Amino acid sequence: MIAVVTVLAAFALGYFLRSHLAANTAYAIAYLWAFVFQTLYLLLDALSPNASAPAFEAGEFPLSYGVLTLGVFAAGFGLVALGRYVAVRRGRTVSSRQRSKVAFTD
C-alpha cells in the first residue's frame, strides 16, 4: 500500500505543486497515513489466531519491515524532487515577476 501511494502521489505532487516544501509535506502526510493503515492491517493479521502465514512473527522485532518502509519513504522524496525537476525543465513554473503581471492583467 505504501508503495502504491508513493508511486501514484510523489511524482505528481512534485510536478504540480509550486512549493517544494508543500509537495514534500503533502507526500509525507499521504505516506504516513498509508503506513499507519498498512502497519495496523499487518499487525492485526499477525495477531490473528487463524493466520496461516502472518507478516510478523510474535516476539520478533520486524527490522526488515522498518528498513523496507524507510527505503520506500526516501524513494518517495526522490520522486518528489524528480517531479519538481521535470516541472522546472519543462518551464511549468511561474516566476514571481510573471505572477505579478498575470495578477494585474486578469
Query: Would the pLDDT of 97 be above 60?
Result: no
For helices 20-47 and 63-89, angle between their N-to-C axes, nearest 10 degrees: 150
Query: Would the pLDDT of 2 be above 50?
Result: yes
How far, in Å, CA of 48 to CA of 39, rounded? Answer: 14
Residue 106: band (very low, low, confident or very high) from pLDDT cuts 50, 70, 90: very low
Residue 93: band (very low, low, confident or very high) from pLDDT cuts 50, 70, 90: low
Grid coordinates belonging to 99? 505572477
pLDDT digits (tens, 9 = 90+) for 33-71: 999 999 998 888 888 778 777 777 777 888 888 999 999
Q: Compute the average pLDDT of residues 5-15.
A: 94
The full DSSP string for 47-94 is: H-TT-SS-SS-TTS--HHHHHHHHHHHHHHHHHHHHHHHHHHHTT-S-
Q: Give the whole-number percent of the chain exceeding pLDDT 90.
A: 55
Upper half-sphere CA count for residue 102 (Cβ side, 13 Å): 6
Summary mean pLDDT of the chain? 85
Residue with cell 518517495: 76
Question: What is the predicted pLDDT for the residue at 96?
Answer: 53
